[in-house]
A and B are shown apart, each in its own frame.
Chain A
Amino acid sequence: MKILFSFFCDCIKLSFSGSKKYTIWIAFLLSGMLIGINAYCTQYKYGLAVTNMSDHVSWGFYISNFTFLVGVAAAAVMLVLPTYILKDVDFSKSVLLGEAIAVSALIMALCFVTVDMGGPQKLWHMIPGIGYFNWPNSMLTWDVLVLNGYLLLNTFIPFYILYCHYKGIKPNKAKVVPFIYLSVIWAVAIHLVTAFLYAGLPARPFWNSSLLGPRFLASAFAGGPALILLVLYFFKSQKIYSVEDVAFNKLSLVVTIAAQINLIMLGSELFKEFYWPTHHSESAQYMFFGLDGHHALTSTIWTAIACNVLATTILSIHPLRRNKSFLVSACFVLFLSIWAEKGMGLVVPGFIPSPLGEIVEYYPSMIELSVSYGILCLGLMIFTVLAKPAIEIEKGNLTYKGI
């Protein structure tokens, strides 16, 4: 107990102290969070009318980001699987950071869902036993279970490992490995369940496809590890934490293959929608080419796809992939393009046209952007607060100094 308490104290002390650059970073994040909180207060007072969502497009920027971030969180499995199950030593230095990213992304996703609710003060209605939990009918209940379970897993496993390292002992494999196996399966589950949220709705033909789940997984395993790679590269270049080149190479290979599969799936969807367009293809028609004079999303989606193709091509060419600057830029571009395609490019066209054929467009309002920015800063803050002690423990700098 004393050790545990000292562990938390030391970690918190470490998280909130550091170099000047670090302090500025924390201050910047805190100010961002305050902007978000202020905007959310306005939204809570006046209702969701301050967003640009409507009865026609009833999910927008918040849920787009939620969907994308669940994918990022699931991608941690791409590090966990090789390290613990395939016993690939090369990833062992980066896996804890990957899990920190997963936890931050997951908390951001949960925040995005909460700010999207009309009545967040009533969320206790979902608690089984004291509320009414419509499981197994509602996919949202499945999502609540898997997301919270994944959060628990991804908090417990790294915590246990770091705590053991902090104490200077080796983690007991028997205590951890079953949960690791579970977390690998769970990671796939969280994103499949999130995809099933959309795919199960017969009212929305744009989403109601069997390919949506696999597509989610492919884009998650491309975008998530790309982000992890970027973060690791940043840490290496800033001399915060060094990971071997071989880990970068293997991670970039994961990103490449996942990105290629993602493009194949995109091609498959484009064929289905446009080879013989039906009434069900109208949403895709709207997104790519505009519908009845409405074309707010066309430039976004074409840019995203072009960037995606470009990035995947670069990554597929071995010499380019091994070149650090090409790798980093390709990963950056790939990450953003997947964010656009899976976020706004998935949620909004599902609502256009409406089930009765009407077209109402959507773009996020200032309040939505401010709240989202606040949540972004929150996620970065969580990652920072988790990563700093983790890095120090892994480097061996932070150990229990008690008797």
Chain B
Amino acid sequence: MFFESLVVSAVLFAVGVAGVLLRRNAIVMFMCIELMLNAVNLSFVAISRYVGIEGQLFVIFVMTVAAAEAAVGLAIIISIFRHYESVDVRNFRLLRW
């Protein structure tokens, strides 16, 4: 199950990347980032079985950072929505090239 878990993790990460490229809704792009973080967690856990407990400890830190990132990101999305009445990334031109 070791190699198979790494493959599942790779598939989930690739799907997350495809989702970020495919969607325009900022909230769904955020969810795809969470999916990518989770794929990395899965490979950490799979490797920790043979390398040591440290892999699982890093997963705890990744989860904490993901929670903080979700809170701050959603606050940014709310304040953008107040300004533009939309969460479509096409409307956010200010920081683009």
The finding on whether chains A and B are genuine partners in a shared complex, rather than unrelated, reads no
